[in-house]
Amino acid sequence: MKVLIIGSGGREHAIAWSVHKSPLVDKIYCAPGNAGISEFAQCVAIGAMEFEKLADFAGTEGIDLTIVGMDDPLVGGIVDVFEERGLRIFGPRKNAAILEGSKAFSKDLMKKYGIPTAAYENFSDPLKALAYLREKASFPIVLKADGLALGKGVLICQDWEEAKEGVRQIMQDRKFGDAGRTMVVEEFLTGREVSVLAFVDGKTIRPMTSAQDHKRAQDGDRGPNTGGMGTFSPSPFYTEEIDKWCQEHIFQPTVDAMAAEGRPFTGIIFFGLMLTGDGPRVLEYNARFGDPEAQVVLPRMKNDLVEVMLACLDRRLDEIELEFEDNAAVCVVLASQGYPVSYEKGIPIHGFGNFRGREGCYCFHAGTKYTDGHIVTNGGRVLGITATGSDLKEARRRAYEATEWITFSNKYMRTDIGKAIDEQ
């Protein structure tokens, strides 16, 4: 098979690494890709939002399967464009990707089908939002831009002054663009967060092993929200009992709800959960692998990724049992100092050779490119350093050891990824 992967981050590098292991696959392309991905795939200079050009490429090259890593093209309808041309593509159609594309849609869906989530109100008029926040809200409270905002469109407000400022940023100044046309005001929940990614074929759902992200920029969960600064898998707080409950009350009901709405979902559903004192609640849905969740989940997966994706497309996921190694993985993101606000790019990176021959250590590229034959930084999140171990403590020790192998002048990382493991 010839496979085309769409995206350019650490998640797509992890997907390319997985696809590369499949005996079904002869050749991999990635559009647009990055310096690390080019180890496994031929990178093609077409942007992820250039649907027609991508479909032309897939047609001309005889691509057998296209895998979409990123949210923007899915929400924009890339799958519909490919399917209209008879090209096989893994991911939800536009009418199903709305599960991630509109938080107001997903909240209304959960309410309608009794899927547990935080209490909320949707607003498209900033004055009504302000009136609600002044008269009815209890603090802290959560404000969410409806649309895609690179994981940054969520504000936790401690008091009325912060909430007023939040409404201004999201709805009036449009800090997150059109994503802020509508805003969700949501009850603040406390508990452990866990991410569960699952394969879905429209009717059957097969959850993968759990993971936990660290969304805030600085140690101790301080600083602004980012796309994710590091992950570990599995989450020791996500027990078999909780998994069973989620399957019955959250996972299958979500798939059934989408089908009942005439929006059958094929692809990956990412459940962002909060394990509250009153039970698990959905914080958010995504319509794709998490980044950097994919960097800890895929290295632990025993199945052939391509085989599972083909089963989803053929609606025979019920024939597949997912299997994961009985180990653990930790991923520490190496970022550019200043991410997610402002940072320098184009800085040379050294030390990739240290990963050669190191079993269970991975250097996934997130924002890198080649300049004059040398790999330089090309984004806020630069690399994801993943290590596996027999348990989380060993994986964590090995991952942090491997972060020392890489140097670049504005390298920044959190030093407490997976620290929660110690509190078990």
**In this structure, are residues 25 and 18 in contact, taking their beta carbons and an 8 Å threshold?**
no
Q: Answer yes or no whether residue 227 interacts with ligand AMP by CB under 6 A.
A: no
Selected range binding ligand AMP among 69-77, 162-170, 182-190, 197-205, rule: CB under 6 A? 182-190
Written as six digits, the tokens of 41 are 């795939």
The residue among 243 and 293 lying less far from ligand GLY, judged by its C-beta, is 293
Q: Residue 294 Cβ, how far from ligand GLY at the closest point, in Å?
A: 8
Computed from CA positions of residues 51, 53, 59, 65, in that sequence, does the dihedral angle turn out positive or negative?
A: negative
Burial of 259 (0-12, 13-18, 19+ CB in 10 A): middle
Chosen from ligand AMP, ligand GLY, none, partner binding at 146 (C-beta under 5 to 8 Å by type): none
Q: Which does 55 bind (CB under 5 to 8 A by kind): ligand AMP, ligand GLY, none?
A: none
- Distance, C-alpha 5 to centroid of its chain: 15
361 Cβ contact list (under 8 Å, min separation 6): 355, 385, 386, 387, 398, 399, 402
Closest residue by beta carbon to ligand AMP: 284
Q: Report, in Å, the least distance between residue 290 CB and ligand GLY.
A: 4
154 binds, among ligand GLY, ligand AMP, none (CB under 5 to 8 A by kind): ligand AMP
- State the nearest-atom distance from the C-beta of 137 to ligand GLY, in Å: 26
* Structure-block tokens of residue 24: 């079904």
151 is an interface residue for ligand AMP by CB under 6 A: yes
Task: Tell me which of ligand GLY, ligand AMP, none is bound by residue 261, counting a contact when its beta carbon lies within the kind-specific cut-off of 5 to 8 angstroms.
Answer: none
Q: Long-range contact list for 129-133, CB < 8 A, 24+ apart?
A: 129/167, 129/171, 129/183, 129/185, 130/164, 130/167, 132/185, 133/160, 133/163, 133/164, 133/167, 133/185
Minimum distance, C-beta of residue 305 to ligand AMP, in the bound complex (Å): 25
Which is it for the CA torsion 404, 369, 16, 67, positive or negative?
positive
Contact 214, 417 (CB under 8 A): yes
Nearer to ligand AMP, 144 or 288 (CB): 144
88-91, Cβ contacts within 8 angstroms, sequence gap of 24 or more: 88/64, 88/313, 89/65, 90/65, 90/66, 90/266, 90/267, 90/309, 90/312, 90/313, 91/67, 91/266, 91/267, 91/268, 91/287, 91/288
**Strand pairing category for 65-68 and 2-7:** parallel
Nearer to ligand AMP (CB atom), residue 151 or residue 234: 151
Counting Cα atoms < 13 Å in the Cβ hemisphere of 232 gives: 27
CA 193 to chain centroid = 14
Strand partners, 197: 270
C-alpha 354/C-alpha 406 separation (Å) is 8
Stretch that binds ligand AMP, among 166-174, 175-183, 186-194, 361-369 (CB under 6 A): 186-194
Residues that bind ligand GLY (CB under 6 A): 151, 213, 227-228, 286, 290-291, 293
Which residue, 186 or 213, has its beta carbon nearer to ligand GLY?
Answer: 213
CB of 196 to ligand GLY, least distance (A): 12
420 near ligand AMP (CB under 6 A): no
| Stretch of 149-157, 260-268, 296-304, 396-404 lying at the interface with ligand AMP (CB under 6 A) | 149-157
Q: Is 150 in the site for ligand AMP (CB under 6 A)?
A: no
* Span from 24-32, 180-188, 379-387, 397-405 in contact with ligand AMP (CB under 6 A): 180-188
Which of ligand GLY, ligand AMP, none does residue 283 bind (CB under 5 to 8 Å by kind)? ligand AMP
DSSP state of 149: -
Closer by beta carbon to ligand GLY, 33 or else 290 = 290
With CB under 5 to 8 Å by kind, the binding choice for 36 among ligand AMP, ligand GLY, none is none
- Residue among 64 and 291 whose Cβ is closer to ligand AMP: 291
Q: Which parts of this chain interact with ligand AMP (CB under 6 A)? A: 118, 142, 144, 151, 154, 156, 186-189, 193, 215, 225, 272, 283-284
